[in-house]
A and B are shown apart, each in its own frame.
Chain A
């Protein structure tokens, strides 16, 4: 039943009641005398309790998007130069740093790819969670410790009482990621940003963490922004997916539609690039030829056009905008819907 709802994209998506609403976000990085936009005018929203997957390859701007939302883009060289990021109506870009601090951890929490480098190696697990809790809640030391223990139980760490007083190096990679998740959820955030949460983990441990995230979102009702390069992880967890390429959104769809009816040649290329467990494995992969464009000198028109088999003069000259091709399904391709374009091109 849940599966069904998910694939049909029946999740509530009412922009009026959006938890997070990003409009025209542009984040630039300056290096030497020139600058480039790592994120170039993207807009999307996230409903309460929804899991939004953001996929793309290295350098597509997916991580910069999340850092922009957290206002953690290192400045210099980075700077948000346009757009707004509204969390329940409040534009985060207008907040003074002191208020933004209250937002981080309390309203929005984040987990990163490498749990070892994001945990403090000289503090016990317990101390770190307690610190995070007391920063946002007026709790006594004993209460905060009780909360930390409760969180470790929630993320299913075996013998949590002992683990509370251990240091990060005493834990395995999967366990450290559980601690990160416990810390992130300690203040009941409305939005959890998970940036490649399972990339550094072995596949059986990855499965455990994905199960945990799925279970926790049911229990806490937190919305999740899942940033990943792995379409398999997206298919397992997300309700809705955004595909990014060279700083722009190229496609957005409910998860079922993205995998059954991809409407951007880049998405299709990505899907064709993954070796599939279910295929016989003898056919060639449909590699996307070429490489991503130089961010300092992006091609005019569609940024994917130099690598696209369907590209024509219009694609190379004019930048396509995201347009709706089915309810909730948007593609930034002049050629969408693709079936017609492919048939015409073949003829």
Chain B
């Protein structure tokens, strides 16, 4: 892994104006959907963006691809400044950056066969024509676990999991370096979800892809990511390598989020942190720390002064854990994640072995 990041985002901001009136519109406020994000993604790395509805994680994914225009900030991808690219240059860039959406049905054209859907990016970027095009489509279908004859079928003939595979194949068609995965498994049943997660991991290993993995499910994130950025109301509140984040979450919001995940183990003993109330409106976010209205550790300083994302002043900081909390060092991280193997682990391993043989 080289030290030069593939993608580097600085001070990324997106404000949506809120308008009133039908003919004569006037701006009556701004939704600060994304407010000053700074992060980077290394080649071959998976960075997860997690948070609850309205935290700005999906907007961030779209900003990076310039599917929507940022208000402020810089986005550098493989040495190029994404925000200043011309239309033509942007099209070339999209060869290298692709996206997979949550709802695989809404994101596929129902009037195109799977083969036609996959041919579009290949033709657009002048990657293949004629016989080579057909071969590449077969190859793509094979890569995502579908068969060549699926190329002649329409999206409605497929199940949800298969459609998501088609969405993945389409993203892979132009051989991108980075794929933004926007809740790619949230709409799928668990057994199918596992198939798609395994597929994404296999593809990453095989093709050396980088992912920005946008999700609300922390267990999925733990499974697939290398580093995790936790977002709250348009800001990153904590960013850390996966292991550190799950072993020792240092921001009170990360702690609450982890504590809220229901664990499939009725005997699990773990700390319970409950947040009162709802996420405040991004139209009018709280002053100071945006989380202070729901934070059990909030003090006067939190209500006045906005905490900046900073390395922790202890061992975790050295490992790359950054946090936006004035008092992170003095808050003791509670035990939130049961570490033991499930009691059925051996049985599961036996079943897995058997499936591998079959």
Contact between chains at B274 and A272 (CB < 8 Å):
no
- Which residue of chain A lies nearest to B193 when distances are taken between CB atoms in the complex? A273
- B266, B339, B343: which has the most chain A beta carbons within 10 Å? B266
- Which residue of chain A lies nearest to B160 when distances are taken between CB atoms in the complex? A58
Q: A268-B344, A281-B222, A342-B351 are in contact. Are A207 and B259 (CB under 8 A)?
A: yes
Q: A7-B267, A273-B193 are in contact. Are A285 and B198 (CB under 8 A)?
A: yes
Contact between chains at B266 and A276 (CB < 8 Å):
no
Q: A259-B266, A272-B348, A309-B358 are in contact. Are A203 and B260 (CB under 8 A)?
A: yes
The verdict on A16 contacting chain B, using a C-beta distance below 8 Å, is: no
The verdict on B52 contacting chain A, using a C-beta distance below 8 Å, is: yes
Contact between chains at A277 and B352 (CB < 8 Å):
no
Q: Quote the shortest CB–CB distance from A39 to chain B (angstroms).
A: 18
The verdict on A289 contacting chain B, using a C-beta distance below 8 Å, is: yes
A231 to B266, CA, bound (A): 10
Q: Which residues of B contact A (CB under 8 A)?
A: 52-53, 159-162, 189-195, 197-198, 201, 216-220, 222-224, 242, 246, 256-268, 274-275, 277-279, 337-344, 347-348, 350-355, 358
Contact between chains at B274 and A3 (CB < 8 Å):
no
Q: List 12 A-B contacts (CB under 8 A).
A: A57-B189, A57-B191, A234-B264, A235-B268, A271-B344, A272-B194, A277-B246, A281-B224, A286-B351, A309-B355, A342-B350, A342-B351
Contact between chains at A268 and B347 (CB < 8 Å):
yes
Contact between chains at B260 and A207 (CB < 8 Å):
yes
Interface residues of A in 213-266 (CB under 8 A from B): 229-236, 255-256, 259-262, 265
* Residues in A whose Cβ lies below 8 Å from that of B353: 346
* Residues in A whose Cβ lies below 8 Å from that of B193: 273
Residues of A in contact, count (CB < 8 Å): 61
Contact between chains at B261 and A269 (CB < 8 Å):
no
Render A147-166 as a binary contact track against B, CB cut-off 8 A, 1 for contact: 00000000000100000000
Q: Quote the shortest CB–CB distance from A251 to chain B (angstroms).
A: 12
Q: A172-B278, A278-B337 are in contact. Are A206 and B260 (CB under 8 A)?
A: yes
Contact between chains at B267 and A3 (CB < 8 Å):
yes
* Residues in A whose Cβ lies below 8 Å from that of B160: 58
Q: Which of the residues B159, B340, B344 comes within 8 Å of A262, measured between beta carbons?
A: B344
Contact between chains at A271 and B342 (CB < 8 Å):
yes
Q: Quote the shortest CB–CB distance from B26 to chain A (angstroms).
A: 23
A270 to B344, CA, bound (A): 12
Q: A202-B216, A279-B341 are in contact. List 10 more A-B contacts (CB 8 A).
A: A206-B262, A232-B261, A236-B263, A259-B344, A273-B193, A277-B263, A277-B337, A286-B194, A287-B195, A288-B195
Contact between chains at B201 and A284 (CB < 8 Å):
yes
The verdict on A210 contacting chain B, using a C-beta distance below 8 Å, is: yes
Q: Quote the shortest CB–CB distance from A318 to chain B (angstroms).
A: 20
Q: A204-B52, A208-B274, A284-B198 are in contact. Are A270 and B190 (CB under 8 A)?
A: yes
Contact between chains at A202 and B52 (CB < 8 Å):
yes
- B194, B224, B242: which has the most chain A beta carbons within 10 Å? B194
A200 to B259, CA, bound (A): 19
Contact between chains at A210 and B354 (CB < 8 Å):
no
Q: Quote the shortest CB–CB distance from B59 to chain A (angstroms).
A: 16
Q: A57-B191, A206-B262, A345-B354 are in contact. Are A261 and B219 (CB under 8 A)?
A: no
- Which residue of chain B lies nearest to A59 when distances are taken between CB atoms in the complex? B189
